[in-house]
C-alpha cells in the first residue's frame, strides 16, 4: 500500500459513526478514563513488538520500551515505541469495530446515556473514547519493520483521512486536540494523578518529560501480602478495560516442576461478548513477563472465558511460535492446574458466601455449565459448584443439598426445563409435586438441555423431567398426604377420554388421567421415550426439527370442569364435548406459551361455549 501518496478520505463504518455520536454527546463523570484506554493500547503495542522481537531482534527499539506523554495548553499526545500500524492496519482497526456484540452494545449505550463511560469500558471501545475529550484526533504511526509512516486524522464526525507522513522510528503517537471543556487534561498535575490512579501497574514506564509516572512493574510478581485491594482493582480494570470491581481475585503461585503465577479476576458484570460463538479467552499468557498471546483456549478453557487477567510462566520456552506453544504439553498442564484452582475457589465462595455466589452464578453459571459436557474429567468438580433454582426455596440449591432433602420413596432428581425461571415456577406440571412438598429444580438456561443429554444421574439418583413420561408420585411419602386422599374420590374418566381421543385424533399421542395436577384441569407432557417438551422447543427454534411430536394430554380427575365433562360424556359425545376437547388442548398449549393449534377454530369454539354460558 506504500504507493498510495494522496490524502484519502474514508467513512467510518456505520456502527462507529453511531458510537462516536453517543460517546461525544454523552454526560459523563469520569471521562478521564480515555487516558487509561490510550495508555493501555500503547502498552499492548509495546507488548506486541516485544513478542515480535523475540524472533527478529532487529525490531526491538534501541532504548527500551516506553510510553511518553507530552502536552501543551491545547493538546495531549501519547507516544509509544511499540508495533505501530501500516495503512491496512489503520483502515482495519481505526475505522471499524471488528468486535462482535457491537449491535447489542450500541443498544445498551443508547438506553443508558448517562453511564456511557462504564459501558464503553466494558465493551472496550478503547481508542474511540478519545473523542470524549478531543474534537480532533491525529494518529501518526509507523509499523515495525516497515519504512512508510501514516497520519490518520478525524474529527469523529463520520469520516477520517489517511495520508503519507514521516516518523523516525516505529511506534504510534496519538495527539488529542482537546475540546474547550477538556483543557484540564493538558495540566501536568491532572495527568500525573490519572496515571497513578489507572495505570500504575502496567508493564512499561509512562513518562512525562523526564519523570516516570508509574511503578511499571508486573503486579503479579509481587507477593499478595504486598498488594492492596485497590491495586488489584486498578490492575483488573487496566487488563480488562473494565470499570467494575472484580467479584473475585485469584492470585496464585505454583512452584514445583512447572512454575507459574496466575492473577485472575472474575468480573462482577457480564462482558458483552460472553455468548459470542467464538468463545474467546481473555486471559493473557506471559512467558517470564513477556506477553505472548491473549486468546488462546489452551490456557483457559472456553467455559471459563469470563475470567480476566494473566498467567505467567518462566518454564515455557520463549522463542517458540504461538502455534507451537499451543501444543506444548506444559501449557496443557498449566491449564489443568489453573482450572482446578479456579474451581476450588468457586467452591469456597459458594460454601462461605452463598448469596454473593448466587450473583456470580446469575452472571456466569450458564457459561460454566458448558464445562459439564466439554470437560468430562472435571465434571464432578464442576457439578459441585453448580447451583439451581428450585421450588423448595427462594435461594439456589446445590445438587447435594437437593439430594439431602429428597422425600422418603423419592428416587429421582426432578426438574422442569424452560426458558424463564419465573414462568416455570407457575407451571401446572408442578402442582402435584408442590402439594406433596417434593422439590423440583427449575432449569432455565438453554445449556441445561445440553448437559442433561450427557449426565443422567447425580449420586446415583437419575435426573427426571416432570414434563415427560408418567409422574409416579404415589410412591413418595409427601409432607401431607392430602393429594392422595382427594384422588380416592376422583371421577371415572374413561368415557370422557374415549370421546376426547376420538375428537382430537392424531393431534394428541394419548389422553390420560393425571397424577401431577391439583389445580389446573389439563396439561401436556411428552411421552416416555419422546423428546422432552423444552428440548423440542429449542430444536424447532434452531431449525433442527420441523414438526413436534404429538403430546400426551393429561386430565385432572379432581377438577370440577373435568368431573362435569366426565358426567356429560356418560350419555355419549355431543357438540359441546367436542368443542371442549379442542379447547382443553388449546388451554394446555397456551399455558406452555404456545398459541392455539388453530386460532380461528379456537375463537369460534370459545365464542360458542361463552354464548351457552351466558345464554346468548
Of 271 and 428, the one with the shorter C-beta distance to ligand ATP is 271
Site for ligand ATP in 240-299 (CB under 6 A): 241
Q: Is 259 annotated as a binding residue?
A: no
Q: Using CB positions, name the residue nearest to ligand ATP.
A: 126
| Interaction between residue 493 and ligand ATP (CB under 6 A) | no
Single out the segment in contact with ligand ATP by CB under 6 A; choices: 54-62, 123-131, 370-378, 423-431: 123-131
The Cα 95–Cα 609 span in angstroms is: 63
Is residue 322 annotated as involved in ligand binding? yes
| Cell 447425580 belongs to residue | 458
- What is the footprint of ligand ATP within residues 346-385 (CB under 6 A)? none
* Distant-in-sequence contacts of 386-390, Cβ < 8 A, 24+ apart: 387/350, 387/357, 387/358, 387/361, 388/415, 388/441, 388/442, 388/443, 389/421, 389/424, 389/425, 389/441, 389/442, 389/443, 389/444, 390/439, 390/440, 390/441, 390/442
The residue (of 85 and 109) whose beta carbon lies closer to ligand ATP is 85
Q: How far is the CB of 209 from ligand ATP (least distance, A)?
A: 20
Q: Was 124 annotated as part of a binding site? A: yes
Q: How many residues does the chain have?
A: 616
- Pick the closer one to ligand ATP by CB: 123 or 415: 123
Contact call for residue 124 and ligand ATP (CB under 6 A): yes
Nearer to ligand ATP, 40 or 391 (CB): 40
Decide if 280 contacts 305 (C-beta within 8 A).
Answer: yes
Instruction: Please check if 89 is assigned to a binding site.
Output: no
Of 317, 312, 339, nearest to 329 (Cα)? 317
User: Any binding-site annotation on 269?
Assistant: no
Range 164-223, binding ligand ATP (CB under 6 A): 172
Strand pairing of 413-417 and 441-443?
Answer: parallel
Q: Which three cell numbers stand for residue 50?
A: 516485544
Q: Which residues contact 595 (CB under 8 A, 6 or more apart)?
A: 589
Q: What is the DSSP letter of 468?
A: B
Has 100 been labeled as part of a binding site? Answer: yes
How far apart are the C-alpha atoms of 301 and 382, rounded to whole Å? 13
- Measured from the CB atom, the residue of 32 and 37 that comes closer to ligand ATP is 37
Q: How far apart are CA 99 and CA 22, in angstroms?
A: 18
Nearest to residue 132, comparing CAs of 36, 265, 221? 36
Task: Specify whether the CB–CB gap between 309 and 247 falls below 8 A.
Answer: no
In sign, the C-alpha dihedral spanning 503, 508, 514, 520 is negative
211 phi and psi angles, rounded to 5 deg: -85, 135
37 belongs to an annotated ligand binding site: yes
Contacts (CB under 6 A) with ligand ATP, residues 18-57: 37, 41-42, 45
Shortest Å distance, C-beta 87 to ligand ATP? 13
CA atoms within 13 A on the CB side of 342: 30
Interface segment toward ligand ATP; rule CB under 6 A; list 75-83, 111-119, 215-223, 321-329 = 75-83
Q: Which of 164, 163, 194 is nearest to 69 (CA)?
A: 194
CB of 256 to ligand ATP, least distance (A): 33
Q: Looking up cell 370422557, which residue turns up?
A: 496
User: Which region, judged by CB under 6 A, interacts with ligand ATP, from 126-134, 412-420, 439-447, 596-604?
Assistant: 126-134
Q: Is 154 in the site for ligand ATP (CB under 6 A)?
A: no
77-116 mask for ligand ATP (x: CB under 6 A)? ---x-xxxx-------xx----------------------
Query: CB 300 → ligand ATP: shortest distance, Å?
Result: 17
**Closer CB to ligand ATP, residue 49 or residue 264?**
49
d(CA 375, CA 301): 9
Q: How far is the CB of 581 from ligand ATP (least distance, A)?
A: 58
Judge contact between 286 and 259, C-beta under 8 A. Answer: no
Closest to ligand ATP by CB, 20 vs 191, is 20
Q: Which is nearer to ligand ATP, 83 or 583 (CB)?
A: 83
C-beta of 295 vs 337, nearer to ligand ATP: 295
Cα–chain center distance at 202: 27
| Least distance to ligand ATP, CB of residue 84, Å | 6
Cβ of residue 148: shortest distance to ligand ATP, in angstroms?
15
- The reply, when asked if residue 211 is annotated as ligand binding, is no
What does the buried/exposed string (b/e) look like for 201-236 if buried means 16 or more CB atoms within 10 Å of the residue's CB? bbbbbbbeeeeebbbbebbbebeeeebeeeebbbbb
DSSP 382-419: HHHH--EEETTEEEEE-HHHHHHTPPTT--SEEEEE-S
Q: Which stretch in 26-34, 124-132, 437-445, 553-561 sits in contact with ligand ATP by CB under 6 A?
A: 124-132
Cβ closest to ligand ATP, residue 30 vs residue 259: 30
Return d(Cα 238, Cα 233) in angstroms, integer.
8
Binding mask 228-247 for ligand ATP (x = CB under 6 A): -------------x------
Among 12, 34, 127, 303, binds ligand ATP (CB under 6 A): 127
CB of 77 to ligand ATP, least distance (A): 11
Judged by beta carbon, residue 37 or residue 558, the one nearer ligand ATP is 37
Q: What is the DSSP string of 541-602?
A: HTTS-SSPPPEEEEE-TTSHHHHHHHHHHHT---HHHHHHHHHHHHHHHHHTTPPPSSHHHH
Residue 514 CA to residue 559 CA, distance in Å, equals 11
The site that binds ligand ATP (CB under 6 A) totals a number of residues, namely 18
Interface with ligand ATP by CB under 6 A: which residues? Answer: 37, 41-42, 45, 80, 82-85, 93-94, 124-128, 172, 241
Residues annotated within the binding site are 37, 41, 80, 85, 99-101, 122-127, 172, 322
Residues annotated within the binding site for ATP are 37, 41, 80, 85, 99-101, 122-127, 172, 322
Amino acid at each position: 500500500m506504500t504507493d498510495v501518496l494522496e490524502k484519502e478520505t474514508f467513512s467510518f463504518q456505520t456502527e462507529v459513526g453511531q458510537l462516536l455520536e453517543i460517546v461525544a454527546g454523552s454526560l459523563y463523570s469520569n471521562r478521564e478514563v480515555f487516558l487509561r484506554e490510550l495508555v493501555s493500547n500503547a502498552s499492548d503495542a509495546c507488548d506486541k513488538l516485544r513478542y515480535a522481537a523475540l524472533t527478529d531482534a532487529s525490531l526491538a527499539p534501541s532504548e527500551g520500551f516506553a510510553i511518553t506523554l507530552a502536552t501543551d495548553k491545547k493538546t495531549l499526545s501519547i507516544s509509544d515505541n511499540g508495533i505501530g500500524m501500516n495503512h491496512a492496519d489503520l483502515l482495519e482497526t481505526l475505522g471499524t469495530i471488528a468486535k462482535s456484540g457491537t449491535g447489542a452494545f450500541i443498544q445498551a449505550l443508547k438506553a443508558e446515556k448517562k453511564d456511557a463511560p462504564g459501558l464503553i469500558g466494558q465493551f472496550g471501545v478503547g481508542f474511540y473514547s478519545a473523542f470524549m475529550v478531543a474534537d480532533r484526533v491525529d494518529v501518526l504511526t509507523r509499523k515495525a519493520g516497515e519504512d512508510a509512516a501514516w497520519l490518520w486524522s478525524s474529527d469523529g464526525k463520520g469520516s477520517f483521512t489517511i495520508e503519507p507522513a514521516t516518523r523516525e522510528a516505529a511506534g504510534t503517537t496519538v495527539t488529542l486536540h482537546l475540546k474547550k471543556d477538556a483543557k484540564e487534561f493538558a495540566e501536568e498535575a491532572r495527568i500525573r494523578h490519572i496515571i497513578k490512579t489507572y495505570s500504575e501497574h502496567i508493564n512499561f514506564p509512562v513518562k512525562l518529560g523526564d519523570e516516570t509516572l508509574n511503578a511499571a512493574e508486573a503486579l503479579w510478581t509481587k507477593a499478595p501480602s504486598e498488594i492492596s485491594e485497590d491495586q488489584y482493582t486498578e490492575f483488573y480494570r487496566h487488563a480488562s478495560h473494565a470499570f467494575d470491581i472484580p467479584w473475585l481475585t485469584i492470585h496464585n503461585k505454583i512452584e514445583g516442576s512447572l512454575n507459574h503465577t496466575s492473577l485472575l479476576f472474575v468480573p462482577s458484570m457480564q462482558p458483552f461478548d460472553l455468548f459470542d460463538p467464538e468463545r474467546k479467552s481473555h486471559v493473557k499468557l506471559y512467558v517470564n513477563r513477556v506477553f505472548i498471546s491473549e486468546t488462546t483456549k489452551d490456557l483457559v478453557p472456553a467455559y471459563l472465558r469470563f475470567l480476566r487477567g494473566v498467567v505467567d510462566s518462566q518454564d515455557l520456552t520463549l522463542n517458540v511460535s504461538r502455534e507451537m506453544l499451543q501444543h506444548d504439553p506444559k501449557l496443557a498442564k498449566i491449564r489443568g492446574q489453573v482450572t482446578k484452582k479456579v474451581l476450588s475457589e468457586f467452591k469456597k465462595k459458594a460454601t462461605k458466601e452463598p448469596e454473593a455466589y448466587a450473583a456470580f452464578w446469575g452472571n456466569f453459571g450458564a457459561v460454566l455449565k458448558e464445562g459439564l459436557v466439554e470437560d468430562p474429567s472435571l465434571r464432578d468438580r464442576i457439578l459441585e459448584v453448580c447451583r439451581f433454582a428450585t421450588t423448595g426455596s427462594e435461594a439456589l440449591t446445590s445438587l447435594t443439598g437437593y439430594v439431602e432433602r429428597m422425600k422418603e420413596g423419592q428416587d429421582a432428581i426432578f426438574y422442569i426445563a424452560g426458558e424463564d425461571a419465573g414462568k416455570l415456577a407457575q407451571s401446572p406440571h408442578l402442582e402435584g409435586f408442590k402439594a406433596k412438598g417434593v422439590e423440583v429444580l427449575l432449569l432455565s438456561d438453554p445449556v441445561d438441555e445440553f448437559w442433561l443429554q450427557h449426565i443422567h444421574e447425580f449420586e446415583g439418583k437419575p435426573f427426571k423431567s416432570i414434563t415427560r413420561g408418567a409422574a409416579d408420585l404415589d410412591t413418595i411419602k409427601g409432607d401431607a398426604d392430602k393429594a392422595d386422599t382427594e384422588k380416592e374420590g376422583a371421577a371415572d374418566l374413561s368415557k370422557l377420554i374415549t370421546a376426547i381421543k376420538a375428537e382430537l385424533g392424531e393431534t394428541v399421542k394419548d389422553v390420560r388421567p393425571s397424577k401431577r395436577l391439583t389445580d389446573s384441569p389439563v396439561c401436556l407432557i411428552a411421552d416416555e421415550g419422546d423428546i422432552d417438551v423444552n428440548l423440542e422447543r429449542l430444536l424447532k427454534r434452531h431449525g433442527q426439527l420441523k414438526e413436534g411430536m404429538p403430546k400426551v394430554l393429561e386430565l385432572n380427575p379432581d377438577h370440577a370442569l373435568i368431573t362435569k365433562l366426565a358426567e356429560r360424556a356418560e350419555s355419549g359425545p355431543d357438540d359441546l364435548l367436542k368443542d371442549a376437547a379442542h379447547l382443553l388442548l388449546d388451554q394446555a398449549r397456551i399455558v406452555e406459551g404456545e398459541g392455539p393449534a388453530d386460532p380461528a377454530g379456537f375463537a369460534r369454539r370459545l365464542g360458542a361455549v361463552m354464548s351457552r354460558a351466558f345464554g346468548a
